[in-house]
Amino acid sequence: MAEQGAQVTSPGFTYRLLSTVLFPFWLLHAWQHGRRHAEHDYLGLRLFPGRSGATGGRIWVHASSVGEVRAIAPLVRRLLERGESILFTSFTATGLQTIRRDFGDTLASAVIPIDFGPVCRQFLLYHRPRLGLVMETELWPALLHQAARRRIPLLQVNARLSSKTLDTGPFTRDLLTRVLGYFDRFLARSERDRERLLRLGARAEDVCVLGNIKSLRDESPPPARLVERDYLLLASSHAGEERKFLRWRENRASDALIVIAPRHPQRGDEIERDIAAARLSCARRSHDEPVTEQTDVYLADTLGELRALMAHARVVVMGGSFDDTGGHNLIEPANLGCAIVTGPSDAGIRDDIKMLGEGVIQVGDMHQCWKTVDDLWRDPARATRLGQRARERLAQQPDPVQAYLDALEPWLTPPASRSSQ
């Protein structure tokens, strides 16, 4: 962040103009999103944080959606145990619902404002946080600019940047460089992420590598089963991956129900057409359609249920690894003891693959993927051993949350001050 008394660089005229043009569309998206997830005050919360001032001086923790909320939750619990007062925000309605369900009234919960200057100012004036912890890549330029202007220290938790981010055009790269300038400290996952942050202008003394906060062993019981039949899961898939997955199946694991949980559930209609083109029968969870013995594919086009779907899958194939995305979080299925198969695109998960070792199978293409899936499906004991190895490798990792808590110490309330509150 800029030095005390120095001018804080704005996101720039182009972004201000862009946010003004997009504002009506953001409003429409918020309204539709709230309706879709039965969170009818979602739009209002993104525009108006409240009528009377909230209790100021809280630590503001922000995470995008359910997965990120769950990942940073252990750190939030440690902060609460220390007596800190927390404002926990999410971008999605399902993230907000997860916060409310898991934390109740032990903290304040909200969604972040629409990224438009006047709305962001109102949010910060209402909540008046004293510290901001932003999980991973939730980099909203207007909101973070307003926080930096108010001299609210900002720390990026589990900080990461993909290789694709470094290859973006001049406008996006310049905007990212400005946004990174609003942070006081970057608590990075890996040396690779540290190097990328430095290439975008972060100062070396402001970046420290603490490891992946998601690698904490999760001992909580698995969620209830959502699908009664045995199934294999294609998780967090992207456009084109579902079509490729179905096309290469041939006769492998022919008795298996395929469950597809796309990264972006709004693609449900498109994926249903791909399933029909493959001449397979489909039931959609968003339409409350039942799974029968005749169902070939169950399309789980919903948010907030991926962990429950992973927990009871016989095999989990991770999406985002058969295109140029670079893979998705392997720690969550590893924590659940899943038999995990991931593809060749691994730019964002190489450290996870190395850490899990023999607890994950990486394949070179979709043909090899289906051969591996078929082997695991026909040999449940081997699938179980694969999942057990993943959990064992996680159990061997040091406690990442304590490392993050130690790094936050300079910004936390001293014990004497907490006891007098």
pLDDT tens, residue by residue, 301-313:
998 899 999 999 9
The pair of three-digit structure tokens given for residue 76, joined into one six-digit string? 């939030």
Q: What domains, with CATH codes, occur in the chain? A: 13-216+399-412 (3.40.50.11720), 231-395 (3.40.50.2000)
Evaluate the CA torsion angle 34, 130, 11, 135 in order and state its sign.
Answer: negative
The mean pLDDT of the chain is 92
Whole-angstrom distance, CA of residue 130 vs CA of residue 410 = 13
Alpha helix positions (H), 294-349 = 306-311, 331-335
Query: pLDDT (tens digit, 9 = 90+) per residue, 334-364?
Result: 999 999 999 999 988 998 999 999 999 999 9
The pLDDT, as a whole number, for residue 49 is 82
Q: Collect all residues with Cβ–Cβ distance below 8 Å to 352 and sequence separation of at least 6.
A: 212, 215, 327, 329, 330, 331, 360
pLDDT reading at 4 higher than 60: no
Query: pLDDT (tens digit, 9 = 90+) per residue, 261-275?
Result: 999 998 999 999 999
Q: Helices 380-395 and 366-378 sit at what angle, rounded to 10 degrees?
A: 100
What is the rounded average pLDDT of the residues 158-174? 86
Share of the chain above pLDDT 90, in %: 79
pLDDT reading at 291 higher than 60: yes
Give the max Cα distance, the chain: 68
The pLDDT, as a whole number, for residue 421 is 53
Query: pLDDT (tens digit, 9 = 90+) per residue, 39-97?
Result: 989 999 999 887 656 677 899 999 998 889 999 999 999 999 999 999 999 999 999 99
The pair of three-digit structure tokens given for residue 84, joined into one six-digit string? 């800190």
Q: What is the pTM of this model?
A: 0.82
The pLDDT, as a whole number, for residue 216 is 80
Point out which residues pair with 209 in neighbouring strands.
Answer: 188
DSSP character at residue 51: S
How many Cβ atoms from other residues are within 10 Å of residue 80's Cβ? 16
Burial, 300: exposed, middle or buried (Cβ in 10 Å; 0-12, 13-18, 19+)? buried
The pLDDT, as a whole number, for residue 5 is 44
Q: Helices 66-81 and 400-408 sit at what angle, rounded to 10 degrees?
A: 60
Q: Please check whether residue 67 is in contact with residue 332, taking contact to mean a CB–CB distance below 8 angstroms.
A: yes
CA dihedral of 236, 242, 247, 248, whole degrees rounded to 10: -10
Q: Please check whether residue 167 is in contact with residue 132, taking contact to mean a CB–CB distance below 8 angstroms.
A: no
The catalytic residues are 68
How many Cβ atoms from other residues are within 10 Å of residue 37's Cβ? 18
Query: pLDDT (tens digit, 9 = 90+) per residue, 94-144?
Result: 999 999 999 999 999 999 999 999 999 999 999 999 999 999 988 999 999
Whole-angstrom distance, CA of residue 281 vs CA of residue 411 = 55
Q: Picking from 56-60, 184-188, 216-220, which range would have the lowest pLDDT averaged per residue?
A: 216-220
What is the rounded average pLDDT of the residues 370-388? 97
How many Cβ atoms from other residues are within 10 Å of residue 12's Cβ? 15
The pLDDT, as a whole number, for residue 204 is 94
